[in-house]
Every structure is written in C-alpha cells, then in structure tokens.
Amino acid sequence: MPEPNPCCILQDIKTEEFENPIVIPKDEATLPETQENFQDSHETRCPIIKPCVCTEPEVLIPRPIVLPPDPLGPAKEPVPLDYWTPLAGLTGTRPAVDNFSISRYSPAEGRLHNKSLFENSETSIENAALAAFNARRYMHRIYIETDKNQLSSDIKLSERAGLIFRWKTELDLSIADTIKEISLIQEERKRIIRCLHAVQMVHAIATDVKHARCSRMEFDLILDEVDEEVIKELKLSAEIQILYNKYVDQLMSQLQELKDSKQKLEIDRSNKLDSYEIDTTCRGLKSDSEIVIWKPGSARIPPDQSSPYDYERYTKEGLVQADNVLERSRILRNNLYNIYEKAIRDLRIQADRIELALANKIELTVQIIQRLENELIRCLRKLADTEFLVDQMRTALKRLDGAMKCAQTRLDMRLKRAGVESCRDAVQAELIEEVKILSKNISDMLEQIKSADDSTIDLVKARRDIETEIIVKKKSLCVDRDRCQLIRSFYPTVQTLAGYC
C-alpha cells in the first residue's frame, strides 16, 4: 500500500471530533490580530495553502512555534474566538465548533506532532534492535559455553566408552576363543564317539569276514594269509576301543571346565556391554533429544562403586584364567590328533592288506558313478539357471506392459485435444515411435522366452538320461560283488575313521 504524501496530509487536516469539547484556560495568552501580523502572516505562510502537486514524498521540517500547545483536558471556560490569529482563518485551521467536537491545532503544531511521532517510533525501534542484539549475543555466548561443557562431557564419555569397549573386545575375543574351544571339544567328543563307532564297525566286519571264511569246505578251510590279517585286525580294533573310551572321559571333564570359565567371562562381558551401551547412549544424547527428562537425584556417587584398579584387576584375572583353561584344552586336542593319526594309519594299512585284491573293480565302478553324479549336478544347475532366466524374462515382459499402457494412454489422451490443439507435434511422433519400439522389444523377448523354454526341455531330457545311467551302473556294481566283497564294502572310509562323518 503506497505511503501518503505528507504535504497533502498537512493541507487536508480536518476537524477531529471528541465527545467533550476542549477549551483553553483563562491565563493562556492570545496573539493580537493586528494589521501587521496579518500582513506578515499572509506574506510568509500563505503559500502553504497552495495545492500540493508533488509526486514523491518530501521531508517537511516543522517551523518554530511561538506559543506552546495548550494542555489537553476539560476546560473551565469556553475558548474565545479572538484567541485565533488571522492566519488561522486564511489557512483553514480555524476551529469548527458544533455540538460535539472542536479542532484547535494549527498546521505547525500538526507538523511538530508528526515529527515527534516519527522520532519516538525511531527511538523505540533502535532500542528494540539494541535489546535484540544484546539478547542474541548473550544467547550466543551461553550456547557456546553450554556446547563447550557438553563437548567436554562427550569427550570424557567417549574415552570411557573406548576403555570399556577395549576390555569388552578382549572379553569378546576370549569368549569367542572359549566358545570356539568348547565347540572344538564338543566336536572332538562327537568325533571320538564316531571314531569309536567306526572302530566297532571294523571289528564287526572283521568278525563277519572270519565267520564267512569259516564256511569254506574241506581243503579250502586253511589258515591262510587272509585269515592271519583278519585276526590281526581284530586285536588292533580292540586295543583302539579301550584307548578311545579313556579319552572320552577326559574330554567330558575338560568341557565342564571350559563352560565354567565361559560363564564367568560372559557375566563380566554382559556387565561391560550394559555399561558400554549406557555410555554410548549418553554420548549420543543432545539437548534436543527426545528421551531426555528431568532426573533430580542423579547427581550422586553410589557407595558400592568399584575403583578403577579393582575394575582392571577383576577383568585381567578372568582373562588369565580363561587363557590357562584354553591352553590345557589345546594340549588335549593335540594329543587326540596324534592318536587319531596313528590309529587311522594302522587301521587303514591293515584294511588295505585285506582289500587289495577286491578294490580294483569297485574303484573303477565308483569312479564312473562319481563322474555321472557330477555331470548330473552340472545339468541340474544349468536347468535351474535356465528356469530362473525364463522367470526373469517373463517378469521383465510384464514390466514392459506398464510402459506400453502408459504410452498408449498418453496417445489416447492427446487424441482428445480439440480444434487446432490436436497438433501433429514432435511429442506425438515420439510417443508413436515409443509404442513401435516397445512392440518390437516385446516380440523379441517372446522369442527369447520360447528359445529358453526349448533349452529347458532339452535339459530335462538330459537329466533323465543321466539318472537312468547312474541307476544302471549302481546295479552293475552290486552284481559284481560276492559275499565277501559285499561285507568288505561296508568298511569305514578314512573320513569315517577320522570321525568326520
């Protein structure tokens, strides 16, 4: 909204209305209305009544007033008309008196009032700006000091959290080593039990072979080299069973010791984890965090808190004890490895002496079966990859439907333009070309899907042929064995003797 022209405002001053008329006190002096004053006032002030033709705001400097303005308020007597000078009649500021209001201010008084109003406003604005500047500066200083203190607390919390994290990390490593060692001991216990079962199987196979050879008739029922090796295998398997049973008891005792050590470390680690989470949470808290609340009684030191020395000593003692237990467990496992190696070597050598004449044909047939199984795995993998590719292509084809619908919808909506707006512009050509390209891509993708489906059918046929061939080979392997070969075929492998399966 444009600001009014001050010149026009001062020339168009009208009489203000008040409920109670304002009068001048008796002792107020009045200007004599003489001919000289009239002429002087007419020569000096008459140009003010000229019409205002200025187009831009001007700054008016109020002229000095001879008499001060009368005080406002109810007057005891009416104001006489000769109070006003002839200039008041010429300038149009002579008071208009009616039943409700009276105006008695001259233009100079109005200008002085305006100047005072602007000066007071400017002073108030400057005072407000100064107060705002001081408040912002004080808030800035307070914020800097608060941020400094908070940063110092954050640094100390970070250092403490780092110390806790270091000990927690060492405890985690020790617990991980203990858990790993417990897992290894458990695996060793399971392994030695599996080895014990495997040795019992070896003993049973040797007994069955001996009984089977006892069915030989007449001159074939002799104590030959095979019988002597079978008897040696029976004695060897019996000795190994006694040794394995002894180490099973030792493993159970060592496992219990590791669990006790792990429990102590986990308790300490759990306490440190809680402390670390508390300190990291405190480190992440800010003044504007959502979870901060008033806690009046939190600034205190509990009597049951430990000292830093006790804190470190307790943690170190648990770590040293865990290391000692781990060392004993590793020694036990190393001893078991040596026993496994020696027992497996002796059993395998004795088995090779018995099975040397029976292994050639079986080995050849097993190799053929293994190659066919590998080929079947390759075929199945390729079949799965092809089916997955077909699914991806069908999904991609469905996604192209949305693009085609979008392009066709745009073309259909643009066909509804009326009159000259239905223009064959570049957008129309681009949309038509987009529909053509999409149609071509969809057709090509359908061809690729058909080709992939044909490949899938061929892979299914190849898989069926390979599976049939594997069944035939396994049947041939069973036919080639006689009774003794069948019994010896159940002899445990090296992995089974080692306890891995």
pLDDT tens digits for range 172-196: 899 989 988 998 899 889 889 999 9
What's the confidence (pLDDT) of residue 339?
92
Residue matched to tokens 């891509």? 441
Q: How far apart are CA 345 and CA 361, in angstroms?
A: 24
What's the confidence (pLDDT) of residue 223?
77
What's the mean pLDDT in 368-381? Answer: 88
Which CATH number belongs to the domain containing residue 384 in this structure?
1.10.287
In contact, 42 and 90? CB cutoff 8 Å? yes
Q: How far apart are CA 369 and CA 372, in angstroms?
A: 5
Specify whether 278 is located in the same domain as 390. no
Mean per-residue pLDDT of the chain: 75
| Number of domains, the chain | 3
Specify whether 146 is located in the same domain as 244. yes
Task: Answer whether residue 420 is part of any domain.
Answer: no
Specify whether 219 is located in the same domain as 340. yes
What's the mean pLDDT in 167-174? Answer: 90
Specify whether 341 is located in the same domain as 254. yes
Specify whether 88 is located in the same domain as 204. no
Give me the domain span that covers residue 136.
130-287+308-356
What's the mean pLDDT in 10-16? Answer: 37
Statement: residue 401 has pLDDT above 90: no
Task: Answer whether residue 300 is part of any domain.
Answer: no
Cα-Cα end-to-end distance for the chain: 94
pLDDT grade for 306, boundaries at 50, 70 and 90: confident
Statement: residue 16 has pLDDT above 90: no
The DSSP secondary-structure symbol of 65 reads -
Specify whether 317 is located in the same domain as 283. yes
Specify whether 182 is located in the same domain as 314. yes
Q: How far apart are CA 198 and CA 499, in angstroms?
A: 8
Phi and psi angles of residue 488, each rounded to the nearest 5 degrees, phi first: -70, -20
Q: Which of 39-48, 107-116, 341-350, 430-439 has the highest mean pLDDT?
A: 341-350
| Higher pLDDT among residues 218 and 131, named by residue | 131
Specify whether 441 is located in the same domain as 475. yes
In contact, 218 and 177? CB cutoff 8 Å? no
In contact, 20 and 74? CB cutoff 8 Å? yes
Q: How far apart are CA 238 and CA 189, in angstroms?
A: 19
pTM > 0.75: no
| Higher pLDDT among residues 160 and 417, named by residue | 160
Specify whether 97 is located in the same domain as 181. no
Nearest of 328, 378, 372 to residue 475 by alpha carbon: 372
User: Six-digit token pair at 45?
Assistant: 């002030």
Statement: residue 130 has pLDDT above 90: yes
Statement: residue 61 has pLDDT above 70: no
Task: Answer whether residue 1 is part of any domain.
Answer: no
Q: Convert the pLDDT of each residue in 454-500 to its tens digit.
A: 888 888 888 888 888 888 777 666 766 777 777 887 888 888 888 88
Specify whether 274 is located in the same domain as 145. yes
Task: Answer whether residue 54 is part of any domain.
Answer: yes
Task: Answer whether residue 449 is part of any domain.
Answer: yes
